[in-house]
Amino acid sequence: MRILHTSDWHIGRSFHGHATLDALRGVLGSLVAQVREHDVDVVIVAGDIFDSAAPAAGCYAVLSDTLGALSDAGATVIVTSGNHDSAARLGFQSALLRSGIHVVTDPLSTGTPITVDDAHGPVHFYGIPFLEPALVRHLWPDAALRSQRQTIEHAMDLVRADSAVRGGRSVAIAHCFAAGVDATPGVEREIRQGSLDVVPVSAFDGPDYVALGHIHGRQQLSERVRYAGAPLHYSFGEADKPRGSWLVDLDADGLSSAEWLPLPVPRRLVTIRGSLDELLGDERFAGDETAWVCAQYTDATPQSDPMRRLLARFPFCATVLHTPVGVRGDDGLSYARRVREARSDAELVDAFLVHVREGEGASEREIEVIREVIGEHTLAEASA
pLDDT at 365: 77
Q: Which residue ranges make up each domain of the chain?
A: 2-262, 269-322, 335-383
DSSP H helical ranges for 124-193: 133-136, 148-166
pLDDT at 175: 93
Q: Is 153 helix (H, G, I), strand (E, B) or coil?
A: helix
- Going from the C-alpha of 213 to that of each of 79, 176, 372, 378, the distances in angstroms are 11, 7, 65, 70
pLDDT at 4: 98
pLDDT at 196: 44
pLDDT at 152: 94
What is 2-262's CATH number? Answer: 3.60.21.10
pLDDT at 243: 96
Pairing of strands 244-251, 2-6: antiparallel
CB 168 within 8 A of CB 189: no
41 beta partners: none
pTM recorded for the entire structure = 0.81
Nearest Cα residue to 45 out of 27, 26, 67: 67
Q: Which residues of the chain have pLDDT under 70?
A: 88, 91-96, 181-196, 326-343, 350-351, 353-362, 375-384
Cβ-Cβ contacts under 8 Å for 158 (sequence gap 6 or more): 110, 111
For 281, phi and psi rounded to 5 degrees? -130, -20
